[in-house]
Amino acid sequence: MKQIRAILKREFTSYFKSPIGWILVAIFFFVSSLFFSLNFISSYSDIASELTFVQSLFFVLIPIITMKSFAEERKSGTEVLLFTSPASTLEIVLGKYLGAFCLFLLMSSTILLHVIFTAAFGGVINAVTWGTYLAFILSGAAYIAIGIYISSLTENQIIAAIVSVLIFIGFTLLSSIASLIGSLVTNLLQYLDVLKLISSTADTAAGTAVTNAINWINPATRLSDFNKGIFGVTPIIFLLSYIVLFLFLTVQYHDKRRWAQR
């Protein structure tokens, strides 16, 4: 734990030794506060809508947070010093992940200020608000794990950011893609069934099954109930599994590089 804390502190403070951390916090604060202020002026304060809006910016914000995690170390040559330190690969990866996640939590603290402000002026804070906030944090945690893994694969921060952006845009479009593929499967089955051996209901069911299977891997889809104020353990386990999977892949990748340098 001591090694993890040291790396976490080093990673977190590194964001504010360059303009990146300050700019990210400022952008998040400005965008979320602008959205909140416009709603408040209109006598309408909906924290859930604000969270949904800000979450739509993840595909830009998260890659900027994670792009330097390992890519910068690799390019500058400090990766060798890191991997020859007493810390294990797991401790290094966890420290870097938690450092990035702490920056994300710092940015997100703006929303809590809006929650307090809304409650103080008699606004509605209910299960939908907290469910959306929890989904926001879980999604951010999962996306950061993915971004950390992508950063570990290259020494170029720009490439790491671009690949992460494309992946996150893919997640955003995944529901539409799933519906499209499901429809194609249904139409294909109907086209191939020249003898009419399969009912149209079965064809539609097959297409729906394909759509549901693709949506199953989409973090946004799995957390949709939280946005309605309906809580469940399964989505949380799913997102935690996402985080564990990509951190595991990062550890395995760097373990190979670490042993190769010895």
pLDDT one-digit tens code per residue, 35-51: 888 887 776 777 888 88
Taking all residues of the chain, what is their mean pLDDT, rounded to a whole number? 85
pLDDT tens digits, one per residue of 221-256: 788 888 888 888 988 999 999 999 999 999 998 888
Write down the pLDDT at residue 260.
63
pLDDT tens digits, one per residue of 69-91: 888 878 777 777 777 778 888 99
| Contact indicator for 33, 117 with CB cutoff of 8 Å | no
Instruction: Report how far residue 144's alpha carbon sits from residue 173's, in angstroms, rounded to the nearest whole number.
Output: 19
Write down the pLDDT at residue 182.
83
Write down the pLDDT at residue 62.
93
Entry pTM: 0.88
Task: State the amino acid at position 104 in one-letter form.
Answer: F
Instruction: Report how far residue 164's alpha carbon sits from residue 143's, in angstroms, rounded to the nearest whole number.
Output: 9
Instruction: Report how far residue 16's alpha carbon sits from residue 139's, in angstroms, rounded to the nearest whole number.
Output: 24
What is the C-alpha R_g of the chain? 22
Write down the pLDDT at residue 145.
95
By mean pLDDT, which of 21-25, 30-34, 39-43, 108-112 is the weakest? 39-43
Instruction: Report how far residue 209's alpha carbon sits from residue 182's, in angstroms, rounded to the nearest whole number.
Output: 8
User: Percent of the chain beyond pLDDT 70?
Assistant: 94
pLDDT at 132 over 80: yes
Burial class, 40, CB count within 10 angstroms (exposed 0-12 / middle 13-18 / buried 19+)? middle
pLDDT at 262 over 60: no
